[in-house]
């Protein structure tokens, strides 16, 4: 149970949910050092710049947070070191040494603004020590008239204990010139005893001295010496500066009529919630040379999920920003929904959830967003239509089949290969089915169908429910036998979305010996559908052993397994983003040596093969690499053709049913055009439909130079155009393209379609 | 009056009427939006031609913009 589980992420349009989700991502929290420093100096940024040798910029970062940067640089006791992650790996970064180096080399006092604003309020500060000086600096910079009453004849108070051994006198004098430039008045030798009388002359008083104790603390215009917030113990000059700063801010709030306490929890020292990956951190001891010492800073950050996900990298944001973008995208009533593409290209694999110590599951956020978009009719029609049509094909007469084993009237189990194994490896499906029939004598039914997950991924609950009811109907017709899945995603969908008890094929096969006995070292890629399914992973491993495969054990490839880029219909929404997801995944799978990849989801295999990486599906290996195994990533057209052929052949061969052959159209298409068709989602069947329509109606254009015909057809929401030539034995296809816009001729009775 | 006219030269003839195409008034529509344009079409039977550059250029751009509205 993670923090994420208690959040109703499905209500992503609620601001409360947004804030809860944002809080889970710590990517934008300050580094531990910055949070621990009461003045919140960005020591991480400072180290980065010093490490690059850019001392000027590093000092600018330092100076930004500190009222007297030179004084502090020489006297800081660096409380940040207490929280430095490096502390346990060789020792905290010596930030005090770095500060001092900056002051010695490039340090300059702060400058007063060229245009100093003036506010109509006066502040008296009793005591010219570090607290008084800091409050005076901050208030004067904000435009208040400030007067310091100092009992002695110098400013600095306790600093004199450090001058000149630790703090050179010249540095102290140079750094306090800022007060003069900010027009702060200083009265030396002035001991204030009657504070209420002082209030007659000014609007607020800060008692920055210890000589007036316990008096007037309840009086709202008088602010006591020390503030009470922040972590303890707190000692040193930096905390005195902070006291002055805090008290100055209190007076400012007072004058502006703002609540004195609300929203101040993170002033002063606190512990950051930023999560930093310490997994690969090695011990490194302090260095004498400052640049090298600065380089010891590990640059704390929490981007563990982004580093491993091609999708999260694609848009250059962290999950906190993604969550807000999703919220904003769903909230706008008018205008452009800029984040649509982003929402629709997450592969929904949950790698981020497995990596995040807070369990932030971005897939649930994106899925909730998609469902909301469909519900409010804001889902771009083109986003997932092609994928849903592919699912429709799997559920149509062309592929859908549910039958008892030939000669049986009941089934012990019902084999459900899934819609993509039938599309990628139809002959393997046939081989598995026949093998199962031999192993399970009580009868094995066959169920060719999709589990409906594509509808779920598209955010379309209605479409998913439709598929689900068709599947349930088929299953019930066969007497509800136990379903045996070959696909990890189908397996998970049946368990989670159908509430069904199903078994994985790997579980059945794990005890069996493979005919394939070629010893091979491989890296096992776990499918996202089995991310948390230890039992399935175990079965696959055992099966791999039975195939004589030596699997490299890597913990980072278990629950945190990278995504192949198939899931979530990412490749339908944008193939380029999906490609990047695959590439990032392959980088992680490579490790120290580039071993062939073993998968147990055919989509993973297909996507890896497409990228030119050797990868095998475990069932291909188990059943032996025969000629009939295709072992390539099929095109969208081939997927459909393979499913259709499988159904026809299996009906004919196993059930001895007479099946009509499909009308064959011989299309001649060169490789380049084939690649274009694949990328633009134009199927061979779309081309055939155009040609059939054109040949029948004779509605076509002709190029007088080469005789090519150009024709179109709009069977659904897309118009397809094809340039072709009738050749002996087929149709030579020269070009094809499509558009979604419809068209109609205006000034004629003859319509343009 | 159409906002957009396709003015590139089109060599194609209507296969049915054997006539060169002429620019005619056509309405393109998508997601409840309509755009009057001038496109090549057969002067007799009205068969419209949408060139690839237009389909995958301006039209695709308009489709995407409307989808994200």
Query: Confidence band (pLDDT; 50, 70, 90) for A749?
Result: very low
Chain A residues with beta carbon closer than 8 angstroms to that of B58: none
Regions in chain B scoring below 50 on pLDDT: 1
> What's residue A516's pLDDT?
63
Q: Is A316 at the interface with chain B, CB within 8 A?
A: no
H, E, C per residue of A143-203? CCEEEEEECCCCCCHHHHHCCCCCCCHHHHHHHCHHHHHCCCEEEECCCCCCHHHHCCCCC
Domain A30-292 CATH (choose: 3.20.20.80, 3.40.50.720, 3.40.50.2300, 3.30.590.20): 3.40.50.720
Question: Chain B residues contacting A, CB < 8 Å?
Answer: 11-16, 21, 24-31, 36, 39, 41, 45-50, 52, 55-56, 59-60, 62-65, 67-69
Q: Is A734 part of the contact surface with chain B (CB cutoff 8 Å)?
A: no
Number of domains in chain B: 1
CB contact under 8 Å between B65 and A336, yes or no, is yes
Most B CBs within 10 Å, among A332, A379, A743, to test the B interface: A743
Residue A60 confidence class, pLDDT cut points 50, 70, 90: very high
Section A438-465 average pLDDT: 98
Provide the total of helices (H) and of strands (E) in chain A, helices listed first. Answer: 33, 20
Rounded Cα distance, A482 and A479, in Å: 9
Per the model's pLDDT, the better-predicted residue between A227 and A724 turns out to be A724
Q: Is the pLDDT of residue A753 over 70?
A: no
Share of chain A above pLDDT 70, in %: 97
DSSP secondary structure string for all residues of A204-258: EEEE--SSS-SSSTTSTTEE-SS---S-S---SHHHHHHHHHHHHHHHHHHHHT-
- Checking if the pLDDT of A71 tops 60, the result is yes
**Which pair of structure tokens corresponds to residue A334?**
């008018």
Provide the β-strand partners of residue A274: none
Chain B contact for A703 (CB, 8 A cutoff): yes
* Contact A704/B at CB under 8 A: yes
Q: Which residues of A fall within a CB distance of 8 Å from B4? A: none
**Cβ-proximal residues to B27 (8 Å cutoff; 6+ apart), any chain:** A743, A744, A746, B34, B35, B36, B37
Residue of A337, A737, A748 lying closest to B46 (CB–CB): A748
Lowest average pLDDT, out of A86-95, A290-299, A389-398, A542-551, goes to A542-551
- The angle that helices A385-395 and A461-477 make with each other, rounded to 10 degrees, is 10
What does the block give as tokens for A196? Answer: 């209420």
pTM value is 0.88
pLDDT at A752 over 50: no
Whether residue A219 has pLDDT greater than 60: no
Q: Does residue A377 sit at the B interface (CB-CB below 8 Å)? A: no
Q: Which of B52, B56, B68 is facing A337, going by the closest CB pair?
A: B68
Best mean pLDDT range from A308-317, A544-553, A654-663: A308-317
Taking contacts as CB-CB distances below 8 angstroms, the residues of chain B near A705 are: 11
pLDDT in tens, A220-248: 577 777 777 777 778 899 999 999 999 99
Our measurement of the distance from residue A166's CA atom to the centroid of its chain's CA atoms, rounded to an integer in Å, reads 48
CB A347, CB A570: distance < 8 Å: yes
Question: What domain range is B21 assigned to?
Answer: 4-67
Cα–Cα distance measured from residue A339 to residue A381, given in angstroms and rounded to the nearest whole number: 15
pLDDT at A217: 52
Is the Cβ pair B15, A747 closer than 8 Å? Answer: no
List Cα–Cα distances, A435 to A444, A509, A619, A658, in angstroms: 10, 10, 12, 24
Residue of B nearest to A329 (CA): B68
A719 touches chain B (CB under 8 A): yes
**A345 torsion bin: left (phi>0), alpha (psi -120 to 50), beta (else):** alpha
Given an 8 Å threshold on Cβ–Cβ distance, is A746 in contact with B36? yes
Interchain CB contact of A337 with B (< 8 Å)? yes
* Alpha-carbon gap: A714 to the closest alpha carbon of chain B (Å): 13
Residues of chain A contacting B12 with CB distance shorter than 8 Å: 701-704, 710
Among A100-104, A214-218, B49-53, whose mean pLDDT is lowest? A214-218
- Which tokens in the block code for residue B34? 């309509």
Percent of chain A exceeding pLDDT 90 equals 85
Are B14 and A746 a contacting pair at CB < 8 A?
Answer: no
Instruction: Check B12 against A719: CB less than 8 A apart.
Output: no
Q: What six digits make up the tokens of A528?
A: 């996202």
Q: φ, ψ for residue A321 (rounded to 5)?
A: -70, -40
Tell me, what's the pLDDT at A220? 59
Q: What is the mean pLDDT of residues A104-123?
A: 92
Contact state of A739 with B60 under an 8 Å Cβ cutoff: yes
Helix, coil or strand: residue A723: strand
CB B33 within 8 A of CB B27: no
Per-residue pLDDT of A177-212, as tens digits, reads 999 999 999 999 999 988 888 888 999 999 999 887
Flag if A746 and B59 touch (Cβ within 8 Å): no
Query: What pLDDT is stored for residue A227 in this prediction?
Result: 72
Question: What chain A residue is nearest to B50 in terms of C-alpha separation?
Answer: A721
Question: What's the CATH code of the domain at B52?
Answer: 3.10.20
CB contact under 8 A, A750 and B45: yes
Q: ipTM, 2 decimals?
A: 0.98
Which of A40-49, A344-353, A556-565, A575-584 bottoms out in mean pLDDT, i.e. has the lowest?
Answer: A556-565
């Amino acid at each position: 149970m993670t923090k994420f589980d208690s959040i109703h992420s499905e209500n992503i349009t609620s601001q409360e949910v947004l804030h809860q989700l944002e809080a889970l991502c710590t990517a934008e929290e300050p580094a531990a050092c910055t949070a621990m420093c009461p003045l919140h100096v960005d020591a991480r940024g400072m180290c980065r710049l010093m490490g690059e040798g850019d001392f000027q910029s590093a000092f600018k970062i330092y100076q930004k947070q500190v009222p007297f940067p030179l004084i502090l640089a020489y006297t800081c006791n660096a409380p940040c070191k207490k929280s430095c992650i490096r502390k346990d790996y060789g020792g905290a970064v010596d930030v005090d040494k770095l500060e001092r180096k900056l002051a010695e080399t490039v340090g300059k006092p702060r400058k007063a603004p060229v245009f100093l604003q003036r506010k109509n309020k006066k502040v008296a500060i009793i005591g010219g020590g570090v607290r008084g000086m800091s409050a005076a600096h901050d208030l004067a910079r904000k435009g208040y008239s400030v007067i310091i009453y100092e009992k002695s004849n110098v400013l600095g108070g306790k600093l004199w204990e450090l001058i000149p051994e630790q703090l050179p006198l010249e540095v102290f004098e140079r750094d306090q010139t800022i007060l003069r430039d900010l027009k702060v008045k200083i009265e030396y030798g002035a001991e204030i005893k009657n504070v209420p009388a002082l209030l007659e002359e000014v609007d607020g008083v800060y008692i920055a001295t210890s000589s007036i104790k316990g008096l007037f603390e309840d009086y709202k215009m008088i602010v006591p010496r020390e503030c009470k917030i922040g972590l303890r113990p707190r000692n040193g000059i930096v905390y005195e500066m902070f006291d002055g700063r805090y008290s100055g801010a209190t007076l400012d709030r007072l004058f502006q009529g703002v609540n004195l306490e609300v929203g101040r929890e993170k002033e002063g020292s606190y512990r950051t919630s930023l999560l930093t990956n310490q997994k690969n951190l090695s011990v490194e001891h302090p260095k004498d040379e400052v640049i090298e010492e600065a380089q010891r800073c590990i640059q704390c950050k929490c981007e563990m999920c982004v580093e491993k996900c091609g999708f999260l990298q694609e848009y250059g944001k962290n999950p906190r920003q993604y969550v807000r973008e999703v919220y904003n995208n769903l909230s706008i009533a008018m205008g452009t929904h800029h984040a649509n593409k982003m929402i629709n290209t997450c592969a929904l694999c949950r790698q981020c959830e497995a990596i995040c110590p807070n369990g932030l599951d971005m897939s649930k956020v994106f899925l909730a967003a998609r469902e909301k978009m469909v519900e409010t009719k804001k889902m771009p029609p083109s986003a997932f239509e092609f994928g849903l049509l592919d699912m429709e094909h799997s559920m149509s007469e062309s592929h859908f089949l549910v039958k008892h084993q030939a000669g049986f009237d009941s089934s012990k189990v019902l084999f459900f290969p899934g819609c993509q194994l039938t599309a990628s490896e139809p002959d393997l499906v046939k081989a598995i089915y026949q093998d199962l029939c031999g192993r399970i004598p009580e009868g094995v039914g066959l169920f060719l169908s999709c589990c409906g997950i594509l509808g779920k991924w598209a955010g379309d609950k209605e479409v998913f429910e439709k598929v689900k009811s068709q599947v349930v109907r088929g299953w019930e017709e066969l007497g509800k036998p136990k379903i045996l899945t070959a696909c990890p995603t189908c397996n998970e969908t049946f368990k989670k979305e159908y509430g069904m008890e199903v078994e994985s094929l790997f579980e059945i096969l794990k005890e069996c010996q493979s005919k394939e006995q070629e010893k091979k070292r491989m890296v096992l890629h776990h499918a996202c559908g089995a991310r948390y399914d230890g039992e399935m992973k175990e079965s696959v491993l055992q099966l791999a052993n039975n195939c004589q495969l030596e699997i490299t054990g890597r913990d980072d490839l278990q629950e945190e397994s990278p995504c192949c880029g198939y899931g979530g219909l990412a490749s339908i929404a944008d193939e380029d983003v999906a490609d990047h997801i695959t590439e990032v995944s392959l980088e992680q799978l490579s490790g120290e040596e580039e071993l062939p990849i073993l998968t147990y989801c055919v989509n993973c295999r297909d996507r890896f093969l497409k990228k030119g990486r050797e990868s095998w599906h475990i069932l291909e290996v188990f059943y032996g690499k025969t000629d009939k195994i295709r072992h390539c990533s099929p095109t969208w057209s081939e997927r459909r053709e393979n499913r259709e052929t499988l159904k026809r052949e299996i009906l004919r061969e196993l059930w001895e049913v007479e099946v009509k052959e499909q009308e064959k159209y011989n299309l001649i298409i060169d490789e380049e055009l084939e690649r274009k068709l694949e990328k633009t989602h134009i199927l061979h069947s779309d081309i055939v439909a155009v040609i059939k329509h054109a040949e029948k109606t004779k509605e076509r254009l002709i190029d007088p130079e080469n005789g090519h015909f150009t024709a179109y057809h709009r069977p659904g929401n897309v118009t397809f155009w094809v340039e072709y030539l009738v050749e002996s034995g087929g149709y030579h296809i020269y070009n094809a393209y499509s558009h979604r816009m419809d068209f109609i001729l205006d000034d004629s009775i003859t319509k343009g379609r | 009056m159409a906002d957009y006219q396709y003015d590139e030269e089109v060599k194609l003839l209507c296969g049915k009427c054997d006539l060169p195409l002429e620019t005619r008034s056509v309405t393109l529509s998508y997601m409840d939006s309509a755009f009057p344009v001038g496109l090549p079409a057969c002067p007799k039977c009205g068969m419209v031609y949408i060139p690839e550059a237009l389909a995958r250029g301006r039209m695709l751009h308009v489709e995407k913009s409307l989808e994200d509205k």
